[in-house]
Amino acid sequence: MKETNLYIVRHGKTMFNTLERVQGWCDTPLTPSGRDGIQYVGLGLQDTKFEEAYSSDSGRAIETMRILLGEHPDGKDLPYHVDPRIREWCFGSLEGAYDAEMWGVLPRVLNFKTEDDLFATEVTFKEIADAVVGADTANWAEPYEKLRARVWNGFEDIAQRREKDGGGNVLIVSHGLTIAFLLSLIDSKQPVRANLLNGSINRVKYQDGKFTIRAINDISYLERGKTIADKAND
């Protein structure tokens, strides 16, 4: 049996990423530079053998996966599935607001004066999720336990199915906070991360019911792909 590894890519840079607006369940398309970055990631992954591919059901994740598969030599033949459980957090009434507005509100819900004060402490994802629920006037945001079950079950089911089918590598496109949250569920010592880069790859191994983190925020595939593209254009 092959080793089971998940290559979890954060989607390409979008319009709202560029404008620094909150983007959870709301969606905007990749920008031209965002598409270019994901094309580089795809080129960098050309030599990596995958058994199947998954993305969240958000448009930006689907667009990212289509670019990645378009650059991969096996892309047309890879089974591709869409799973809503690996989509981004829902920020409720905060969706579409400027990032600075949200990170101005959430610390106050948790009795901190500023975002810097919040992250100067060992804030947890549970506290952030509770703060989002507390600040959401539309009552759309997911309570922590529901959010945890959704994200964990989504990734665990993908890994378990692949292990059962003989292992191998799985290409996955998900979202910044969701990926960081998964990493913290795998390893409780992981800090709260709000800085995973668009196009970064986070690799985790799955064996006998246990995840192991292999790489976090890895942009080496993007850099390798850019080098390949630059040489092709010389």
Q: How far is CA 99 from CA 23, 79, 104, in A?
A: 9, 36, 8
Edge-to-edge order in the sheet of strand 168-174: 80-82, 52-55, 168-174, 4-10, 201-207, 210-218
pLDDT at 11 over 70: yes
Distance CA 198, CA 73 (A): 23
pLDDT at 119 over 70: no
Which token pair is 220? 């080496």
The pLDDT assigned to 234 comes to: 81
Coil vs helix vs strand at 30: strand
Distance CA 198, CA 38 (A): 8
State pLDDT tens for residues 128-179.
999 999 999 999 999 999 999 999 999 999 999 999 999 999 999 999 999 9
Find the radius of gyration of the CA atoms of the chain.
Answer: 18
Residue 231: partners with Cβ closer than 8 Å, 6 or more residues away: none
The pLDDT assigned to 152 comes to: 98
Residue found by looking up tokens 């549970």 in the block:
126
Distance CA 142, CA 206 (A): 27
More confident residue, 123 or 156: 156
C-beta of residue 38 within 8 angstroms of C-beta of residue 68: yes
pTM score, whole prediction: 0.96
Distance CA 30, CA 50 (A): 24
Distance CA 228, CA 43 (A): 7
Adjacent-strand bridge partners of 211? 206
Residue 47: partners with Cβ closer than 8 Å, 6 or more residues away: none
Q: Can you spell out the DSSP letters for 75-90? A: TTTS-EEE-GGGSPPP
DSSP label of 14 = B
Adjacent-strand bridge partners of 203? 7, 215
The pLDDT assigned to 87 comes to: 98
b or e along 157-170 (b: 16 or more beta carbons within 10 Å of the residue's beta carbon)?
Answer: ebbeebbeeebbbb
pLDDT at 200 over 80: yes
Which token pair is 141? 């945001």
